[in-house]
Amino acid sequence: MTETGYRVHRTLTVRVELARQLRRRRTWIALGLVIALPLIVVAAVKLGPQQRGFGDGDLDLVGLATAGPWNFTLTMLLFSSGFLLTILAAMFLGDAVASEASWSTLRYLLAAPVPRRRLLRAKVIVGLILTLLTLLVLVVASLLIGWIAFGGSALTSPLGGTFSTADSWLRLGVVAGYIGLMLLIPAGIAFLASVLTDVPLGAVGAAVVLVIVLNIVEALEALGDLRQLLPGHYTDAWTAALVDPISWNDMAIGGAYAVVFFAIMVAAATLRFDRKDITS
Amino acid sequence: MRAFIGALVLGLFVALAPTTAAQAAQSLIIEGAATSADDPTPVLLDADLYLPQQTPAPAIVLAHGFGGSKQSVAEDAQWWADQGYAVLAYTARGFGESTGTISMNSPQFEVADAQRILDDLAGRPEVVIDSSGDPRAAVAGGSYGGALALLLAGYDDRVDAVASDITWADLESALLPQFGVGEPTPGVYKSLWTSFFFASGLGFTPGAPVTECGRFSPDWCAAYLDVATKGTVSPDVAQLMRASSPVTVADQITAPVMLGGGEADSLFPLSQTNLNAEAITSAPLKVVWHAGGHDGGVNENERLRDLTAAWFDAHLRGGPAVANTFEVSLTTGSALNSRDAGSVEVLTAQTYPGLFGDAQTDLALAGPPQQVLAPAGGEPAAITALPGAGGLGALAGDRLGVPVPGQTAAFITEPLPTGQRIIGSSRVQITVSADRPLTDAILYAALRVVGADGRQTLPQGLVSPIRIGQLGPDPVTLDVILPTIVAQAAAGERLAVTVSTTDFGFRNATEPAVYTVQAGPTVAVPSVTGAVGSVSMPAWLWPVGALVVTLLIWAAIALLRPRYHDPVSPEPVAPLAVSNLVKEFRGGLRAVNDASFDIPAGTVVGLLGPNGAGKTTTMRVAMGLIAPTSGDVRIFGEVTHPGSAVLSRVGCFVEGPGFLPHLSGRRNLDLFWRASGRTGDPQLGEVLEIAGLGSAVDRRVRTYSQGMRQRLGIAQAMLGMPDLLVLDEPMNGLDPPQIREMRDVLKAYAAAGRTVIVSSHLLSEVEQTCSHVVVMNRGTVVYSGTVEHLLAGRSGLRLEDVFLELVGEGHGVER
C-alpha cells in the first residue's frame, strides 16, 4: 500500500481552476463583448448620421457621454450594467458547476477526491474573478477608447459641477465598485441554480429570467415601499456618487443587501451540494 | 426554487392586506353656521363619517383643498380609519353638495362651520370625549383646508392637534407679495395664480349659465374683481383678507401643529409657511419643508402621511413622542434622465432655523451696473413657473426660467470652491434708478445656479417680486429677500443674482422704462446644519452589518458541514468491501438491494451483470458520489463518503470519460492531476503510452473520437498508478489489438500487488482477464468468487452460459 501524498488543501486550487476556465471560448467572447461595446458606440457617434440624442449635452449621463473618458466610461457602465454585465455575471457563476456536470468532469473531480465544499469554493472565487475581470476590461477599454475619441476632460456630473482628475478617478472607482457589488445578485441566483441543475444554459437562463422578473416587480408602483425589500431596488444608487459630497446612504444599503443576498445564495448552494447525489 | 417564489408572492400579499379594516363610510348632513350675515338659516354640509373597527376612537376632521369636496379626501379618510381613527370628511360650504357660498375660510362662516362639526363629533358615541362638548379631535388639511385647520385651532381650543400643509399665512402677502424690505405693501399682484385659484371656485358646469361670481359670496366676488382689475388691494379688501389669514390668530393656537410647506410652490411659497411658523408661539410645532407643492414637484404624500400619523398618535393617543425637529427635503436630480425628478433625501435639524438658515455665507458678486428694459405693456414676459401645470412644470425643469434678453441684469459669484447647499432665502442689496420718474417700478429678483458650461437654472422656478413706490434718476438702495429655495450648487458652479423686469405670473408694469441696476457687493446665502438621510442608522453601519450577517452565515454553514464517523477498520483490509449496501433513489427505485462482497488484493476482478443490475450505482457509492440508503462501501478499510481521503488511492473510470473539451488531452491530464491534490509522480509518460494517442494528445479533446476519449479516460484513471483501479466498460470503443494490449496492461497492473475492478458486458473478455468475478442481478450479488470456482464442475460450459444461468429467473445465490 503506497502513500499517495494527498493533501486536501492542494485539491482544485484557484490557480488550477483558473487555468481550467481561462482558455474557454465563452471567456474570450465575454471579454470581446465588453471591448466591442465602447468601440461600437464610438463608431456610431463618429460615423453615424449627425442626430441629436447621444452626447447632445442634455443634462443627464448619456447626454454628457462624449464629454471625456470618465463620462464615456460611466455611460458604458450604465449601458452594460442593466443587461450585459448581468448576463455575463450569471454566465460565469451559473455555468460554474453545471458545465462540469455536463462534461462529466464533475464526478472525476469529486472522486479525485476534491471535497465538495472545496470545489464550490474554487468555483465561486474563479467565477467572481472572471466577473471582476470583465468589469475591469470594460472600464479600461472604455477609458482608453473614450480618451482617444473625446480627449481627456475630467468628469462632468449631470447633477452639476466638474470634478478634478483625482476626484474623477475616485468617483469612477466608486461607481464601478458599486456596480460590481450589484452583480452579486444575478451571480448569487445563478450559482444556486448551477448547483440545482446539470444544464449550464438552464442555470444561466434561470438567473436571467429571475432578474428580469425582479425588475418587473420593481416597476410595480402599487407595491410602494415593499419594493425596498427587493434585491435590485438599489441598482441605480451609484448615481449618488456623482453628487458632492458623495451620498453614501443608498449605496451602503444596496451594497449590504447584495453581499448578504450573495452569502445566502452561496450558503443555500453549499447545503444542497453537500448532500446531493451526483448522477451526471 | 418554485416554492421560494411562491413564498415571496404570498409574503407580499400578507404584507399588503390591511391589518384592521375599517367599516364603510356613512353619509351625513351636518348643519353648519348661518348662510350669510343676512340669512341665519344654517348651511347644510355634506359629510362622510368613517369609523374604525374599535370605537370610541379619537376623531380626525379632514378639510379638502380649493375646488375639491369630501370625495377628494376619501382615500385619505379610509386610510386614517384603518389606523383606528373616527374620520369626518366634509365638503366646505360653497363646494360640491354643500350649500352656501365661499367666504375663503372666514371666521364667521367656514370656521364656524367647522366648530359645528366639532359639536357634532362631541355628541357621537363613537368618538372619545375630553369633556362634555369637547371631542378628542385633530384637524388636517392642505392648501384651503390647511388654512382652515390653522384658523379653527386658533379660534377653538377644543382642537387637540393640527396638520396643515401648503397653505397661506397672510392672504394679502401671498397673492400680492413684496420682497423689497421697507417698500410699500401690498406688493405685485400674482395675477396668473390668483385667477386660476378664483376660477376653480366658480364651479362651472357644462350647460349651466356662466356667471361672474359662481359660488363665491358677494363680498369675496367683489373683492376679487376689484383686485384683478386694479392689481392692488383696497382697505376693505385688505380687511376681508386679514380675517381669513391664519397668521392673525396663530398665537392663540395651543394644539400641537405639524406645519408643511412645499418647495415647489409658487402660490403659497415657503415664505408663507415661515410666517405661520413664526406666529405659532404657544404650541408645540414641527415644520416640514417637502419636495411637493402647488407647482407639482416630487410627490411625498406617503412620507407626509406617515409623519402626520406619528404626530397624531403622539398627541391624540399617547403614542411615542415625536421630536419637534425641522425636516427639509433635498431633491437630487436624476443622473440617468434629465426629465426625472430623481431622489429625495431628508435633512433633519434640531430646531427650525427660519427663513435665513442657521448660517449665512457672504459671496462676492461681480458685474457692472446694468441697464434693463421694462417693455411697454409688460410683454414679452419671462416664464418662470407654470401655475396649475402640476407635474408638467416640473417636467419642463430647467427649460423654464430662461431670462428674456435685455430684461435681466445678472451679478455672478466666483466659482464655488466646494459644493454649497442652499436652504432658505438669500439676502442681497440692490441699487436701482430709472431713466424717468415713475410710480410703481416693478422688478423680480432671483438666485440662479450657473453651471460650468454657463447654463443657468432657476431653483424651483421662484422669483421675488419687488414694487418700488417712487423711482426716478436718483438711485434707490433697498434690501431684497430672494426666494426661499432648497438647492444644491456643486463645486465649480457659480451663483447669480438676477434682476428682471417681467414675469409671466405677475401683473407687470405697463409703462416702459429703462432701469439701471446694481446688486451687491455680496449676497448672503443661507444654509442649515443637520443630518441627511436615514437618521436612525448611519451609512457605515450597513456594510458592518452586512459583514456580521455574512460571517454568521459562514459560521452556520461551517457548523452544518456533514460529519462522518468512520468506524475502526476491520482486519484484514480488503481493497474494496461492500456490506449490506442498499440504495433507493427518489421515486422508490431500489438500484442496489442488500449487496455484499469483498475484493481480494492483487487481483483483476470482473464485475458482471445485466443492465440495471446495480453495478454502476455500487461504483458511485464507492466513489462517494451518491449516499447509500443503508450499508456501506469500504476502501482499504475506510467507509467512503464525499471527499474521503482514501479515494486518493483509487483511480476510476465510470460511465464514460469526462474532459474539458477546450483543452488538449495532455493538458486535461495535467490539470486533473494538479486538481487531485496528490503530490507523487503522475507517471504521465507511461500513462500516455497506455492511451496510445500519439501526436493527437496535444489536440483539443473536442476533436477526439469516442475511442480516443475512452483510452484517455482509462489513462486518467491510471495517473499516479493508484492502488485500486475501478474501470467501467473499459473495452468499449477499442479495436481488437487495443483490447489485447489493454488486457496485458491490466494483468501487469495487478501483478504489482494492485487491484483492478473491471465491469464489462464482454464476458469473454472478463474470462480472459479476470481471476475473480462478482455477478450482480437486480441489485443483489448472485455470485462472488474465482472464475475457476464458478466454472468448476461445468465442463464445456463457458462463462457466458453460466452467467445467463445465474441471471435467469429463479436462480439463487451459488457459492
Torsion of CA B745, B747, B749, B750, to 10 degrees: 170
- What is the rounded CA–CA span in Å between residue B774 and residue B121? 94
Q: Which of residues 523-542 of B touch A (CB under 8 A)?
A: 532-534, 539-542
Q: Do B557 and A260 touch (CB under 8 A)?
A: no
- How far is B415 from B408, CA to CA, in rounded Å? 21
Could you tell me if residue A29 is inside a domain?
yes
**Chain B 21-40, residues with CB within 8 Å of chain A CB atoms:** none
Nearest to B553 among A23, A264, A279 (CB): A264
Residue A53: its H or E element: none
Q: Which residues pair with B519 in a beta bridge?
A: B430
Residue A157 lies in a domain: no
Q: Answer yes or no: is pLDDT of B537 > 70.
A: no
Does residue A118 lie in a domain region?
Answer: yes
pLDDT band at A158 (very low <50, low <70, confident <90, very high): confident
Q: Which of A9, A27, A105 to mutate to test the interface with B (most CBs of B within 10 A)?
A: A105
Q: Write phi, then psi, for B508 (nearest 5 degrees).
A: -80, 160
Mean pLDDT of all residues in chain B?
A: 88
Neighbours of A276 (CB within 10 A): 17
Q: How are beta strands B513-527 and B370-374 bridged, if at all?
A: antiparallel
Q: Give the closest residue to B668 by CA, choosing from B649, B688, B653.
A: B688
Query: Which 3 state secondary structure label does DSSP give B409?
Result: strand
Helix (H, G, I), strand (E, B) or coil at B729: coil
**pLDDT-derived band of residue B815, with 50, 70 and 90 as boundaries?**
very low
Sign of the torsion angle spanned by Cα atoms B167, B168, B174, B178 = negative
Map residue B61 onto helix, strand or coil: strand
Q: Which residues of A touch B12 (CB under 8 A)?
A: 223, 226
* pLDDT at residue B21 in the model: 56
The residue written with cell numbers 488550477 in the block is A16
- A78 contacts in chain B (CB < 8 Å): 336
Looking only at the bridges linking them, the beta strands covering B26-34 and B359-364 are unpaired
Secondary structure (3-state) at B719: coil
Helical H segments across B62-135, by residue range: 74-82, 112-122
Residues of B in contact with A277 (CB under 8 A): 585, 625-627
Phi and psi angles of residue B728, each rounded to the nearest 5 degrees, phi first: -100, 115
Spatial CB neighbours of B476, under 8 Å, sequence gap ≥ 6: B431, B432, B433, B468
- State which residue of chain B sits closest to A3, comparing Cα positions: B649
Q: How far is CA A222 from CA B289, B307, B605, in A?
A: 26, 21, 69
DSSP state for residue B700 in the 8-state scheme: B
DSSP string, B129-196: EEETTEE-EEEEEETHHHHHHHHHHHH-TTEEEEEEES--S-HHHHHS---BTTS-SS----HHHHHH
Percent of chain A with pLDDT over 90: 56
In a domain, A9, yes or no: no
Spatial distance between the Cα atoms of B53 and B121, rounded to a whole number of angstroms: 17
Summarised one tens digit per residue, pLDDT across range A98-155 is: 999 999 999 999 999 999 999 999 999 999 999 999 999 999 999 999 999 998 888 8
Q: How far is CA B431 from CA A131, B377, B428, in A?
A: 63, 24, 10
- For the segment B159-185, the average pLDDT, to the nearest whole number, is 94
- Give residue for cell 493508484: B722
HSE (side-chain half, CA atoms, 13 Å) at B713: 31
Torsion region of B204: left, alpha or beta (phi above 0 gives left; psi -120 to 50 gives alpha): beta
Least confident of B216-225, B532-541, B726-735, B787-796: B532-541
**CA–CA distance, A28 with A91 (Å, rounded to integer):** 13
Residue A196 falls inside a structural domain: yes
Mark out the alpha helices in A104-183 (DSSP H runs). 105-111, 116-150, 165-182
Q: How far is CA B701 from CA B651, B672, B696, B706, in A?
A: 20, 14, 9, 10
**Which residues of chain B does A253 touch, with a Cβ-Cβ cutoff of 8 Å?**
542
Residue B334 burial (CB count, 10 A):
19
CA dihedral of residues B582, B583, B587, B589 (deg, nearest 10) = -70
Model confidence pLDDT, tens digit, residues B23-40: 678 999 999 999 999 999
Q: What distance in Å separates the CA atoms of residue B726 and residue B641, rounded to the nearest whole number?
A: 17
Rounded to whole angstroms, the Cα distance separating B289 from B303 reads 12
SS3 B128: coil
- In this predicted model, what pLDDT tens digit does every residue of B105-121 receive, in sequence order? 999 999 999 999 999 99
A7 inside domain: no
Instruction: Tell me what ipTM this predicted complex has.
Output: 0.92
Mention every residue, 6+ apart, whose C-beta is less than 8 A from residue B142.
Answer: B65, B164, B165, B166, B167, B260
Q: For residue A268, count other CB atoms closer than 10 A to its CB.
A: 18
In this predicted structure, what is the pLDDT of residue B734? 85
Determine the 3-state secondary structure of A32 from DSSP. helix
Per-residue pLDDT tens for B9-18?
444 444 444 4
- Are B677 and A10 a contacting pair, CB within 8 Å? yes
- Of the listed ranges B183-187, B408-412, B487-491, B567-571, the one predicted with least confidence: B567-571
CB-based contact A252 B337, cutoff 8 Å: no
In angstroms, the CA A15 to CA A126 distance is 9
Q: What is the pTM of this model?
A: 0.77
Among the listed residues B406, B394, B399, the one whose alpha carbon sits nearest the alpha carbon of residue B383 = B399
Smallest Cβ distance to B675: which of A2, A114, A275?
A: A114
Rg, Å, chain A Cα set: 21
A24 C-beta neighbours (distance < 10 Å), count: 17
Q: Write the burial class of residue A190 (CB in 10 Å: 0-12 exposed, 13-18 middle, 19+ buried).
A: buried
Is B295 strand, coil or helix?
A: coil
Number of separate domains in chain A: 1
Query: A47 lies in which domain range?
Result: 18-152+162-274
Residue B811 pLDDT more than 60? no
Side chain identity at residue B263, one-letter code: E
Q: Is residue A56 part of a domain?
A: yes
Q: Output the nine-digit C-alpha cell for B589.
A: 427505485
Q: Which residues of A touch B331 (CB under 8 A)?
A: none
Nearest to B553 among A248, A250, A263 (CB): A263
Predicted pLDDT of residue B22: 61
Determine the 3-state secondary structure of B424 from DSSP: strand
- Distance from chain centroid for Cα B657: 50
Of A12, A60, A105, the CB nearest to B338: A60
**Rounded to whole angstroms, how far apart are CA atoms B665 and A48?**
48
CA distance B740 to B188: 110
pLDDT of residue B610: 86
At residue B235, does pLDDT exceed 60?
Answer: yes
A238 to chain B, closest Cα gap in Å: 10
Nearest neighbour of A277 by CB, restricted to B493, B554, B627:
B627
Asked if A109 contacts A7 with a C-beta cutoff of 8 angstroms, the reply is no
* Strands B630-635 and B755-759, sheet pairing: unpaired
Cβ B786 vs Cβ B771: under 8 Å: yes
Q: What does the pLDDT look like over B563-584, one tens digit per residue?
A: 887 666 666 688 999 999 999 9
- pLDDT higher than 70, residue B373: yes
Q: Hey, of A2, A4, A123, A210, which one would you mutate to test binding to chain B, going by the most B CBs within 10 A of its CB?
A: A4
What pLDDT sits at residue B690? 86
pLDDT per residue as tens digits for the range B749-805: 988 889 999 988 778 888 888 989 999 999 999 999 998 888 887 777 777 788 888
CB spacing of B643 vs A116 below 8 angstroms:
yes
| CA-based nearest residue to B335, from A246, A87, A148 | A246
Q: Which of B90-104, B134-148, B374-388, B702-716 has the lowest mean pLDDT?
A: B374-388
Amino acid B404: pLDDT: 74
CB–CB of B263/B291 below 8 Å?
yes
Asked whether the beta carbons of A57 and A160 are under 8 A apart, the reply is no
| Peptide bond before residue B56 is cis, with ω within 30 degrees of 0 | yes
The answer to whether residue A250 is domain-embedded is yes
Task: Kindly tell me the burial class for residue B661, based on how many C-beta atoms sit within 10 Å of its own C-beta (0-12, 13-18, 19 or more).
Answer: middle
For A9, the grid coordinates are 488543501
